[in-house]
Amino acid sequence: MNDWVKARVVGKHCWTEGLYSLQFEAPITNFVAGQYIKVALDIEGERVGRPYSLVNAPGEQPVEIFFNEVPQGPLTRPLSALNPGDTVWLTATASGIFTLETVQPARDLWMLATGTGLGVYLSILRSPDPWRLFERVILVHGVRQGADLAYSETLDEIANRYPGRFTRVAAVSRESWPTALSGRITDLLTSGDLERHVDLTIDPATSHVMLCGNSAMIKDAKVILEARGLVRHRRQVPGHYTTEQYH
């Protein structure tokens, strides 16, 4: 049984229309980077809760989430209307296995995200785990518009902390954007443009790949990776890729 605890909103950031981060002061127990909590509001007499990946590193406060408004979604609109001082419910204990706990060390860790799927990687990148297990970490953030490329200052700080070991790639699909590759992550994988850009190859002998966000991206990327010999990682049977599906 995972009890609800009351949390106070202590920070809010709007990155672009409909895209937000919220910070909470909350007595949650410690967690493993890559896990999620549930966030809930009482709406018309009913507690409406949804899972959100934790963006903050384990052991660090405030608790932070990154989300977009879903038209017709019951929770995200009221969530984005919250302001500092307001209260929400959080689950006290985090859940989830999209972590590096059972992943075998390798040379390269590829973190592929669409949209708000970026958030989970920020927590992992702020933890010691990827830097202990991998020599190089490549974060690929696929978004529709350049304005959706959130957390660039945080990513700059991480790049400065791990010189030569961290590469970030933005992929923008619906407009041309100066600092980004053009197109979907999956198309950039198929064409080879992503790996040429980074000057590394995704290969089962050297790589572990994490996929997070849109279920269609995950489904399409799995086909591409499996054709190259990567197999799904399971806790009991180590493999080469792991997934977390948001929608």
Ligand X SMILES: Cc1cc2nc3c(=O)[nH]c(=O)nc-3n(C[C@H](O)[C@H](O)[C@H](O)COP(=O)(O)OP(=O)(O)OC[C@H]3O[C@@H](n4cnc5c(N)ncnc54)[C@H](O)[C@@H]3O)c2cc1C
Report the SS3 class of residue 122.
Answer: helix
The 8 Å CB, 24+ separation contacts for 228-232 are 228/202, 228/203, 228/204, 229/203, 229/204, 230/202, 230/204, 231/204
Q: Which of residues 24-63 bind ligand X (CB under 6 A)?
A: 36, 50-53
* Contacting range for ligand NAP; rule: CB under 6 A; set: 3-11, 57-65, 191-199, 209-217: 209-217
Q: What share of the chain is helix, strand, coil (3-state, %, to 5)?
A: 25, 35, 40
* β-strand pairing of 4-16 with 19-25: antiparallel
Least gap, CB of 190 to ligand NAP (angstroms): 10
Question: What is the four-CA torsion angle of 237, 242, 243, 244, rounded to 10 degrees?
Answer: 90
Radius of gyration for the chain, computed over Cα atoms and rounded to the nearest angstrom? 18
Stretch that binds ligand X, among 72-80, 82-90, 147-155, 161-169 (CB under 6 A): 72-80
Length of the chain: 247
Piece of the chain touching ligand X by CB under 6 A; list 9-17, 114-122, 176-184, 235-243: 114-122
Please, which of residues 172-211 interact with ligand X by CB under 6 A? none
Part of the chain binding ligand NAP (CB under 6 A), chosen from 22-30, 190-198, 204-212, 213-221:
213-221
Q: How far is CA 27 from CA 2, 8, 39, 66, 208, in A?
A: 13, 10, 13, 19, 33
Nearest C-alpha neighbor of 133 from the set 210, 222, 194, 52: 210
Applying CB under 6 A, among 49, 58, 130, 142 the residue interacting with ligand NAP is: 142
User: Which residues in the 217-246 window bind ligand NAP by CB under 6 A?
Assistant: 217, 220
When CB distances are held under 5 to 8 angstroms depending on the partner's kind, the choice from ligand X, ligand NAP, none that residue 142 binds is ligand NAP
Contacting ligand NAP within 89-108 (CB under 6 A): none
Taking CB under 6 A as the rule, which mask of x and - marks residues 42-81 in contact with ligand NAP?
A: --------------------------xxx-----------
What's the CA angle centered on 27, arms 103 and 87, to 5 degrees? Answer: 115
Residue matched to tokens 């409909």: 18
CA distance 222 to 230: 9
Among 4, 8, 12, 18, binds ligand NAP (CB under 6 A): 18
Binding status of residue 20 toward ligand X by CB under 6 A: no
Partner in contact with 6, chosen from ligand NAP, ligand X, none, beta carbon below 5 to 8 Å by kind: none
Which two structure tokens, joined as six digits, stand for 187? 């198309």
Binding residues vs ligand X (CB under 6 A): 36, 50-53, 65-68, 70, 73-76, 96, 115-116, 119, 244, 246-247
Q: Which residues bind ligand NAP (CB under 6 A)?
A: 16, 18-19, 68-70, 114-115, 142-144, 148, 173-174, 184-186, 213-214, 216-217, 220
